[in-house]
């Protein structure tokens, strides 16, 4: 592994960890992909804000939570990765009954915290192996619930290190889709990252919520190939259908390119069975799209984010 601790390169006043030439397969659930030129893990929110101010305006910036919906191509990411998992990890119950969770808090932790405070409606987060920041960006969801349905407002930081609070009305929100309305309208809006969110949940019974979490997790164990590196569902479900059904119908279960394979257990999962490269995975995604289109006439669109340069 070619990884250099480069603390001497950290601009003065910063307290986080800066590393150069980092293998991103260590930070993505597919355990595949290229290197990032540099990666910064802030010490906390204040440190993240100071760091944002040190970044040149044109520096490509990629924010990463748990990398559970992300493929970094083998040629790597030329720019900075901001790693928020285990960095922004504050989680608390506010006086007004909302739960505040910073962007680096894992879904499972949020679900358990809500249950332990006798609040219901956050159980579904338990099975999503991402962070609050990733779940906000993706509007992650399952079993009929979605992240933004239980969200009161979010906290963001822009490239100049300014903090903002925004409400759902500031965004176009859809199935695994989120976009700032002013950005969509082509208005001058600076790129922002999510640093936290306030969740509004209903009063409930912790015991019942914990049981529900257990049931949801068991369901996943029986239906998903959790023993192999994967990134969850690769494709969005088309309207009124399931990508997995179409992939299976197209005879693609078990199809393999290099070390990547369409899971035998869940056809909308691609698993890394033997040192897959990002190219193996991306080529398999393309092949699945082509074959499904040929055989069923339906166009599938990836849910996973693919970034960086090809080798
Ligand atoms: C086994 C398995 C099961 C899954 N099940 C589900 C499921 O049921 N439902 C579902 O919706 N998803 C599911 N996923 C996919 C994934 O867990 C979610 O999309 C999750 O929300 C990603 O969170 P993350 O922190 O890992 O984000 P990452 O993969 O790190 O990032 C995803 C995207 O969000 C951006 N991003 C991350 N953090 C921030 C931030 N703070 N600010 C701005 N942008 C940010 C990244 O740049 C990237 O574009 C599953 C994945 C796996 C591996």
Residue 9 has what pLDDT? 58
Residue 12 has what pLDDT? 76
Type and span of the H or E element at 295: helix 278-296
pLDDT band at residue 6 using 50, 70 and 90 as cut-offs: very low
Name the residue at shortest CA distance from atom 28 of ligand 1: 67
**Does the pLDDT at position 152 exceed 70?**
yes
212 is catalytic: no
**Does the pLDDT at position 71 exceed 70?**
yes
Residue 11 has what pLDDT? 72
Nearest alpha-carbon partner for 230 in 255, 267, 283:
267
Q: Which residue has the tokens 């068991």?
A: 218
The alpha carbon of 13 and the centre of ligand 1 are apart by a number of angstroms equal to 31
Q: What is the mean pLDDT of the chain?
A: 95
303 is catalytic: yes
How far is residue 245's CA from residue 258's CA, in Å, rounded to a whole number? Answer: 24
233 is catalytic: yes
Buried b (16+ CB within 10 A) or exposed e, 46-77: ebbbbbbeebeeeeeebbbbbbbbbbbbbebb
Residue 8 has what pLDDT? 43
Ligand 1 lined by 66 (C-beta under 6 Å): yes
Condensed to tens digits (0 to 9), the pLDDT of residues 287-307 reads 999 999 999 999 999 999 999
CA 285 and chain centroid, separation: 18
> Among residues 29, 233, 250, 263, which one is catalytic?
233
**Does the pLDDT at position 273 exceed 60?**
yes
Condensed to tens digits (0 to 9), the pLDDT of residues 163-202 reads 999 999 999 999 999 999 988 887 766 789 999 999 999 9
pLDDT band at residue 209 using 50, 70 and 90 as cut-offs: very high
């Amino acid at each position: 592994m070619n990884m250099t601790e480069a603390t001497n390169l950290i601009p003065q006043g910063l307290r986080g960890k800066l590393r150069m030439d980092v293998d991103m397969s260590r930070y993505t659930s597919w355990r595949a992909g290229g290197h990032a030129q540099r990666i910064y893990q802030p010490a906390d929110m204040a440190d993240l804000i100071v760091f944002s101010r040190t970044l040149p305006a044109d520096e490509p910036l990629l924010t990463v939570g748990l990398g559970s919906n992300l493929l970094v191509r083998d040629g790597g990411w030329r720019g900075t990765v901001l790693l928020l998992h285990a960095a922004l990890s504050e989680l608390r119950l506010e006086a007004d009954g909302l739960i505040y969770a910073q962007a680096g808090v894992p879904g499972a932790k949020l679900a358990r915290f809500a249950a332990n405070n006798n609040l219901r409606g956050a159980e579904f987060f338990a099975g999503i192996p991402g962070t609050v920041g990733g779940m906000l960006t993706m509007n992650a969801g399952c079993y009929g619930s979605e992240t933004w349905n239980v969200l009161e407002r979010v906290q963001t930081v822009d490239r100049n290190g300014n903090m903002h609070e925004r409400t759902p009305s500031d965004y176009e929100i859809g199935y695994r889709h989120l976009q700032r309305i002013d950005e969509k309208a082509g208005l001058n809006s600076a790129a922002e990252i999510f640093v936290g969110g306030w969740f509004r949940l209903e009063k409930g019974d912790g015991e019942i919520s914990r049981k529900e979490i257990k049931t949801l997790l068991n369901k996943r164990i029986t239906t998903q190939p959790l023993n192999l590196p994967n990134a969850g569902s690769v494709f969005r479900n088309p309207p009124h259908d399931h990508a997995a059904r179409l992939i299976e119908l197209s005879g693609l279960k078990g199809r393999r390119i290099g070390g990547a394979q369409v899971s035998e257990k869940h056809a909308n999962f691609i698993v890394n069975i033997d040192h897959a490269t990002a190219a193996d995975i991306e080529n398999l995604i393309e092949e699945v799209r082509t074959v499904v289109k040929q055989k069923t006439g339906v166009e599938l669109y990836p849910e996973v984010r693919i970034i960086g340069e090809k080798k």
